[in-house]
Structure 1
């Protein structure tokens, strides 16, 4: 995967002052974390079961605004063997109200990645900020006809008739999520490669269903040589290190989501492997350490 500076490419509109991609090597596997931008999110949605004073104190401690904050949106491209795997697809251009997100297509171009080279897509789940890039004129028109789209069977089944009864989302969001997922399934059903519990997508690239956030939510584990990295999707949020018991409003089974993230964070702390997640601050590459009954996010030192 090319990491050429786009300012030397001669292509207008691709040069950015803020870095939006970061390369990591996991053994023989090449990993590129790409920022799709940021989404606005109400602070209360981050932890709707938290005491308001406790949430306000946490936000203040983290130098975050008390009401609406920018939620990072990260996507990963993996090259293993002869395969190029896109893990999640960002928001895309179908939702113009979110003007600071949906940047994946232009940032793939800036990184020198032709969407036609993508052999596989793994979707951690079917929320619109993970599938939107595959809809409309974003990435969709450049993707190869034999593209394989890997998603947990339970996830595709859930979105045939989704249940939002245990979520706590802003008004209008459930309808938008339902519409995006319905459209995605209609457009990509013939390319889907559903799996039950675990599936090796490419050498050393394994998708594993966790459930919790959504019934078919999955993480992607990378392993090559002695190196390991987990892309956790929406299993882990920034607040989860300090308060893994707080419920995110987008979780369809909040109690199970909390159990999933505690198990995952405990495992990552024990084996010391790297973590990347959708909504951690870009580039989100970090390690997990225990801190009593909670956890610490230890940012990786950038490798230049």
Structure 2
């Protein structure tokens, strides 16, 4: 399957097809939007001085109270394997997130059959990364031999999750806990856990970083001289200029900040491409060093 050559079948409610194709050497990559999450702006940096956070939002022409966070996943073809990186939100767990959970529909509009997916890689088990697999009827359409790759530390964490260092809106901890529990129960026989690093397919390696959650991982794609990292929730839009701001969903915010700085430093040095879950769609770009901070450099779209 060539992920870049499927016909466009956008519905009347779609402003754009909501997918973007990238070639990394011999690897086909399709970034797919699962929609957007309206969240309070305090979630971007709950440890930040409110005046400094307000100034950053103003400089970015963003509203002060809440705005829409992008929610991206990726589909990768490596040889005979079709690998889905994260699965989006799925159903709205009564948290008023009606514009997320679009993955299944948008894969269908791209001509992608769920039965063609051989592997799923989870950066972590927050509900906006596993929920697409919990939508009614999805499991029945997946391959019976589907492999789901996730860090062992992540599965262990959600047996008794600790929310004491997070700063989430009311209702989110319960929804996250319930989604992770249901996901583990429904897909336990499909889980392929790893400790620190695992090659999912030629050129596709998942590496545990920790921080955001104990088992949070990034996915490295490499083919020839081309490189791309899918960073999951290690990097948010504010994280380039303010990498030490704590995101409200981070279970270990101090470690998450260290992970973020290490990752951005590495990406700035290598010049490889970056995709992350909550950067504005299609979130393909590179990292530059700007004084003692970083700078996001989005790619010029290839039409």
TM range (shorter): over 0.9
Report the counterpart of residue 81 of structure 1 in structure 2: 79
How many angstroms apart in 1 are the aligned matches of 2:146 and 2:80?
A: 14
Q: Which range is displaced more, 28-37 or 129-138? A: 129-138
**2:7: which partner in 1?**
4
Aligned residue for 1:133?
132
Unaligned runs of 5+ in 2: none
Match of 1:183 in 2: 182
Unmatched segments (≥5 aa) in structure 1: 8-12
Q: What residue in structure 1 maps to residue 153 of structure 2?
A: 154
TM-score by length of 1: 0.96
Find the aligned partners of 1:57 and 1:4 in 2 and give their Cα distance.
43
| Contact 2:35–2:72 under 8 Å retained in 1 | yes
Deviation digits for residues 277-300 of structure 1 (CA, Å, limit 9, x no counterpart): 000000000000000110000011
Output the CA distance in 2 between the equivalents of 1:134 and 1:33.
18
Q: Quick one: distance in 1 between partners of 2:93 and 2:254?
A: 30
Pairing 1:37-116 to 2, within 5 Å after superposition: 37-95=35-93, 97-116=96-115
Change (3 A) 1:40 1:94: closer
Deviations 1:45-93, CA, capped at 9 Å, x for gaps: 1100000000000001011110011010000000001000000000012
CA distance in 2 between counterparts of 1:44 and 1:24 reads 33
TM-score, normalising length from structure 2?
0.96
Write the distance in 2 (CA, Å) between the matches of 1:254 and 1:15.
Answer: 38
Over the residues paired in the alignment, what is the CA RMSD in angstroms? 1.1
The equivalences for 1:1-304 within 5 A come to 1=3, 2-6=5-9, 13=11, 16-95=14-93, 97-137=96-136, 139-304=138-303
Q: What is the Cα deviation at residue 266 of structure 1?
A: 0.3
1: distance between equivalents of 2:93 and 2:171? 13
